[in-house]
Chains A and B, each alone.
Chain A
Amino acid sequence: GNSVTQMEGPVTLSEEAFLTINCTYTATGYPSLFWYVQYPGEGLQLLLKATKADDKGSNKGFEATYRKETTSFHLEKGSVQVSDSAVYFCALSDQDRDDKIIFGKGTRLHILP
């Protein structure tokens, strides 16, 4: 079945550092890929998405490119801020299979001032 694997946290970085959170997926069809973010005490909110291979999703300085050849959707940001501290979830959905959205286990990010 479909699945999502993302790097375990926590990830701790200093402000203005470069961020990469790895995400790889397994899917039998052609899924859409998502990154959701959960700030402390809140629910998840969509950060960005990509619906087909080679698409790049971007929002708030974050980017992720849908790489079919490596089955990856890594999240990157060039210069992180303290306000980016949160838990980040990679997710996929496979509409062709009428499948549920499957979330990864989440990666906690701490940004130090």
Chain B
Amino acid sequence: DAGVIQSPRHEVTEMGQEVTLRCKPISGHDYLFWYRQTMMRGLELLIYFNNNVPIDDSGMPEDRFSAKMPNASFSTLKIQPSEPRDSAVYFCASSRGYPLGTQYFGPGTRLTVL
């Protein structure tokens, strides 16, 4: 199995630009998660989906953030407009079952907003 795939691995953009992060979960997994990791705040759950339906988006910091999962094999996290404080590593993870199903994390996207 290829594991969770994220793209891009690194993104550098300027304040005000739109940023789109992409994720392909492991085939057969019914849950997908988006996390943000920073030195100051640690690992934060932003949103998670079950069978492509958003279940809990209470961790999404503000309306500038949005996430979609149009099908079982693809999800996006969009930031529009981006701000320097959005700089972080964004992880996508997937699991079969939740919360006891083991979460498999992708390699992350390191986002830098100048």
A contacts, CB < 8 Å to B = 32, 41-46, 49, 51, 89, 93-95, 99-101, 103-106
Contacts and interface: CB of A to CB of B under 8 A. Distances in A.
Nearest to A44: B105
Contacts, number: 46
Interface in B69-114: 91, 93, 98-100, 102-108
B96 to A, nearest CB: 13
Interface of B: 4, 42-43, 45, 48, 56, 91, 93, 98-100, 102-108
Nearest to A101: B99
A101 B100 CA distance: 9
Contact of B108 (A43, A45, A46): A43
Given A95-B100, A100-B56, A43 B45 contact: no
A43 B93 contact: yes
For B42, B43, B106, B108, the residue with the greatest tally of chain A CB atoms inside 10 Å of its CB is B43
The 7 closest A-B pairs by CB, nearest first: A43-B105, A93-B99, A105-B42, A44-B105, A103-B43, A46-B102, A101-B99
Contacts of B100: 32, 51, 93, 95
Contacts of B99: 32, 93-95, 99-101
A100 B43 CA distance: 13
Contacts of B105: 42-45
B20 to A, nearest CB: 19
Given A32-B100, A99-B99, A100-B99, A42 B107 contact: yes
